[in-house]
Amino acid sequence: MSIHKHGKDGKQWRVRIKCNATGKTHSRVLDRGTSKTQAKALEVEFHQSMNAKPDPNAIPSILKLVEDWLSGHVQTLVKPKGYESHARQILPFIIDQKFENIVDVAENIIQDGIERGHKPSTINHRTNVLRYIASKCADNPKYNTINYSRRIRKLKLKKGRELYLTEGELWDIYEHVLEENTEVAELMVFAAFTGVRKTELRALTRHSFSTRLNKKTGLEETRMVVKETKEGTPRSATLSYFAEQAYLNMQEGFKIKLGDTGIYGPFKRGLKKSNAVKNRPELLDFQWHDLRHTFASFLAQGGASLIAIQYAMGHKTMQSTQRYSHLCEDNYQQNIDILDKNKNKNLRQRAKMKLITD
């Protein structure tokens, strides 16, 4: 405990109190006109109230804390529906549960998710609700509780996603999606040959595309400008043949939002029916965003360098592009094999050069 003068004029007192339960130090600035004797008396009072034994009944139930969180802080976030969905999923576990049992409740949610085969990221999203509430209660001196959020287990995630499609697998899935919805099939091909993200695809309109003459080839080419990117800087690119054909085949342009159920349904059903999934069962976990990784794999296997892939993907740093480095290494090895095939030819050429120099 300590009191210090506060302010430039030194006419106020600042009281610093350490909470024994949380280990945090709290400070309060007293009103002007408070004497040193009064400041010391308030210091003792604050210390006693903050370090009193915790009362389990003082903290509301977990259900009440979650409801207050959903009606308050969550509504200020950009995408509150996702948090509301996670809260609904943990509802059966938090009914009639006291706050002091929050770690056990979180463990029950984790075990249930593992038994049901949920992804570690999905389970972590659900326990994050309890983790946030526990942290806020620890920061509130009124509740005087330890930070239970540090005791809630977090599952380890696999580093990076490396699900790519070969061109054969892509066209196999395309045929099955095409049977149900033509527009979704064209959107899928467009995403696989441009690498645009879901949010970027939503923002595209017909005004995002323009046609110009390529002076080198003498042919017209379609250029795309993505204004709303994750990095915050616009990105432009020339459409490849298949991406341009997919764009021209679109009947409604890019007016459909990817969040609509009409997009993911045909995509997932076509994916499950395809031969690609039968040959590679791990593709059942293939997501729409993996079409972006597929685009990068096409570039790498086509001989593009990591710098070219970084530019095409719109990555700010090379660190994000490094996940495709092994694909470039495979291409590099193919180039080395070509050099080995021409070894005899190169040796004959070198022998001729040696004769000339001699």
39-87 tens-digit pLDDT: 778 777 776 666 655 555 668 888 999 998 888 888 877 678 888 888 8
Mark whether 125 and 243 lie in a shared domain.
Answer: no
Please say whether the beta carbons of 159 and 121 come within 8 A. no
- Is this prediction's pTM over 0.85? no
User: What six digits make up the tokens of 196?
Assistant: 């645009």
H helix or E strand, kind and range, residue 268: helix 261-273
Mark whether 177 and 289 lie in a shared domain.
Answer: yes
Mark whether 176 and 262 lie in a shared domain.
Answer: yes
User: What six digits make up the tokens of 31?
Assistant: 């009103």
- Is residue 83 included in any domain, yes or no? yes
Please say whether the beta carbons of 276 and 174 come within 8 A. no
Q: Which domain, by its residues, includes 119?
A: 58-151
Mark whether 178 and 222 lie in a shared domain.
Answer: yes
Give the span between the Cα atoms of 294 and 327, in whole angstroms: 11
Residue 5's pLDDT is what?
78
- Is residue 335 included in any domain, yes or no? no
Q: pLDDT-based confidence at 306, cuts 50/70/90? A: confident
- CATH number at 237 reads 1.10.443.10
Q: Distance of CA 272 to CAs 153, 280, 281, Å?
A: 33, 11, 9
pLDDT one-digit tens code per residue, 3-17: 777 777 777 877 777
Q: pLDDT-based confidence at 247, cuts 50/70/90? A: confident
Q: Which of 109-118, 219-228, 245-254 has the lowest mean pLDDT?
A: 245-254
Task: Give the CA angle between residues 90, 91, 92 to the nearest 5°.
Answer: 95
Residue 250 in this model has a pLDDT that exceeds 90 = no
pLDDT one-digit tens code per residue, 321-333: 887 777 776 665 5
Residue 170's pLDDT is what?
92
- Domain count for the chain: 3
Report the range out of 55-59, 88-92, 163-167, 199-203 with the highest average pLDDT: 88-92
Residue 48's pLDDT is what?
66
Phi, psi (rounded to 5 degrees) for 197: -80, 170
- Is residue 96 included in any domain, yes or no? yes
